[in-house]
Amino acid sequence: MFPRAALVLILGLWPLQGAAFKAPRVEILYIDANVGGSSGGHVALRLEDEVYHFQNEQGTTRLTRDDWSRFRWVYNDIENRNIETAELQVRPLDAEHLRQHLGLLFIAQQRQTDYLKALEQDISFLETLAIGGQVLLKERAFFEPAKTPQKLQESLRQHLIEQTGPSFSTQEQARLLKTLRNLHYDETLEGLSFKEQPYPDYPPTFSEKAADLFSRQLALNVMDGKERLREGALIDAGPLPSSAARQWLQGYLQELQASIIRGLKTPYPGGGSALLLALARHQSVALSLTRNRLFFLSLFEGEPRHLEANDQEQQRLEALFLNQLTREVTASREEIFAHPRPNEWDYHRMEIGASEINELWSAQKAQRAADFKRTPGPPRGEGREHLNNLVVTDSTLEAALIRAKARRHRFWEWFDGHYGYQLITHNCVTELNRAIQGSFKNADERLAFGGHIDPLLSQSFVPYRYFELVRQRYRPLVVTRSPSYRNRQLAAMSDHGEDLPIALQESTTLTGTLYSPRPSDGRFLFFTEQPAWTRPLFGAANLIYAMAAIGPGLLNLPTDEGRDLESAFNGILFSLPEIGWWTIRKGSYTEAGLRARAVTGHLSTR
């Protein structure tokens, strides 16, 4: 007889076994059209909480990996686009093949893109050296020469002396200077590899090596008190909230101190940038403890990407968002400071919150739209510096520039051949389709999905047509639709009143309460998500409305830098597909506006 204890054990473990073999969430997404680069629609693949999709970035078809909640927020809410979802039945092993292949493809393309930028930086670096100018260096803008010796680094400097001796800084400066003076551009075309490999391994470029050496020189100057943290690079985030916050920051200061000393004692190639960032954070934390106020490095650099002027309604919404964001960031800080062990990720979360609040406050002050497209990683602090210690003769520079341009050109030809955007043969659909098929090596996707879609046949390169083929050939378990932000709000309004009056009021940008016109959406009068037979009529009305805006746009040209005129021309351009029965015009929203509407709990009115 089967032992009863064993039977009990198996039955007890059965739920855990079921969870381990739970079918993964694999979905093909179709995001419908809107204005701008969205006018052709878009497709993506969702794997559990990660979304993989290809985007056209300056002529390159780039694989992007997003968190699902952020992806839905951007496309479904901010860009106000409906999302259709086809949920596929996929075995856990096949889903893992998809995840591994797409993950490696993402990492490899990112490395190749970074290397292309490094080769371009070599050219700029050499050209700048040739004219005796200042080269661009990461983290340089965090610091400035100190008129008097700085005391913030005194404790850190004493720890370094205790571990390395009093002559370490002088000897290391001499070594770095000698290495810089012996540095020459020696890259050749023969050393450039184009072999396919999971993770491309490229050697540091000339400019990367020079920047790394200078970063270490600058780090030693900071340690010696010759350079100080530039207060213009800091955000004042208000008083230190509690004794727990002080204790947390003191603990983080000790972690930074240990990291800095390790970086100085045991340098590694490319580590100079991380060393400078740690020093900048160390000084900002030390300043916070000294002045009893929170200071953070800003994530935002330069001018914002969008300079749309805000109307009164948008300013009101962003003011509400600023209040809500301040409450959220304050609560997040309290949660972080309650943790007994500080860590870099939590500190970076606080940098993000402080930067977003500061950006929103600056946007309100300048009466422009806030730009929340922050850099994807830690603060960069890019600045310029003369590298006078880099001794390169004019003849050597001229020869180096020729080789650097040839090297960049050859790599670009290979890169463009692999990732160059083509409307039909290499777009967001064809590359996603190829990536899916490439996940199964010698077999095709029939084994995983039960069907096959050729990247170029049956008009599968068109986003909407590709999704139709997914429905026909992959036989999804279920197809669902996530209405856009505006459509969800329309549905909510219809539940509380008569449908026809609401539909009429919200059908135009002049009378609607759900949408505030934005220059980037183009000038238009009617939304075109109504029944298909209405689209040519509304498209023609939108065309006339946009053409009528050309005259005022010309009059405003001296004062608005052409924003009204550009909006009128965009309105004309996107009215033409609507006349041809295609639905384009849906409007879009700002992140601040959406967050503010969510805070108020009701829809704004004019």
Let me know the angle formed at the C-alpha of 513 by 510 and 519, rounded to the nearest 5 degrees. Answer: 55
Low-confidence ranges of the chain (pLDDT < 70): 1-22, 36-39, 150-152, 188-197, 302-314, 372-376, 442-443, 495-498, 591-593, 595-606
* CB neighbour burial string for 74-98, b if at least 16 within 10 angstroms, e if fewer: ebbbbbbbbbbbbbbebeeebbebb
* Distance separating alpha carbons of residues 591 and 304, to the nearest angstrom: 15
* Distance separating alpha carbons of residues 342 and 349, to the nearest angstrom: 12
Let me know the angle formed at the C-alpha of 377 by 45 and 196, rounded to the nearest 5 degrees. Answer: 55
In terms of Cα–Cα distance, which of 489, 491, 511, 446 is closest to 594?
A: 489
Beta carbons of 296 and 336 less than 8 angstroms apart? no
If one counts every other C-beta atom within 10 angstroms of the C-beta of residue 269, the result is 10
* Distance separating alpha carbons of residues 305 and 452, to the nearest angstrom: 41
The pLDDT, as a whole number, for residue 558 is: 80
Q: How many CA atoms does the CB half-sphere of 489 hold within 13 Å?
A: 19
**Six token digits for residue 162:** 């205790």
* Distance separating alpha carbons of residues 33 and 64, to the nearest angstrom: 19
How do 26-31 and 83-88 pair as beta strands? antiparallel
The pLDDT, as a whole number, for residue 225 is: 87
**Six token digits for residue 207:** 């400019």
- Bridge partners, residue 88, by sequence: 26
The pLDDT, as a whole number, for residue 193 is: 64
Beta carbons of 216 and 176 less than 8 angstroms apart? yes
The pLDDT, as a whole number, for residue 170 is: 92
| Run of H or E residues at 28 | strand 26-31
pTM of the model: 0.81
* 3-state SS, one letter per residue, for 250-282: HHHHHHHHHHHHHHHHCCCCCCHHHHHHHHHHH
Tell the residue number behind the tokens 């962003």, with chain if given: 318
In terms of Cα–Cα distance, which of 593, 588, 474 is closest to 527?
A: 588
